[in-house]
Structure 1
């Protein structure tokens, strides 16, 4: 298993721990999470939120890839 505990025993879902929010609103992403997801100093991360389910922190290319796949599928269905 890569870093973090598997969430509910399911592979590819992890619990990495907790992070405190500092005075400037900053958090430290746990090392195991940074390593697993290839997050390097200076990387830009996308912050998404849903008022009921919470916050998602992801690399922008993850969303770009998903959007590209959706658009490709829409084109094929025309």
Structure 2
């Protein structure tokens, strides 16, 4: 039982590493006017075009910025709300068990 749990955690860790490695598009430099250039690979993958509106948020732990295509914000909020509900449900089950 313990080894299965450890393997699940290990597999989960590898999954996160894989996801992060596919999420990294490179480093950017802030210009004199505070501008950055989003790497072409990121623009292509996310369908970003000149003139698209972006929402810039501070990371909740003050660790950086998060940038979202404005049109995608509602979808992100809905997905995150569902994630929080699942976490709450799992936490409640652990408390009851």
With normalisation by structure 2, the TM-score equals: 0.55
1:57 is aligned to 2:46: no
Q: Please identify which structure carries the higher helix content.
A: 2
Which structure has more relative contact order (CA 8 Å, sep 6+)? It is 1
- 1:54, CA displacement in angstroms? 1.8
Q: Bigger shift: 56-65 or 24-33?
A: 56-65
For the aligned residue pairs, the C-alpha RMSD in angstroms reads 2.4
Structure 1 gaps, min length 5? 1-6, 71-78
Larger Rg: 2
With normalisation by structure 1, the TM-score equals: 0.66
- Note the alpha carbon deviations across 1:10-42, whole angstroms, 9 max, x for none: 379411000000010000000000000000011
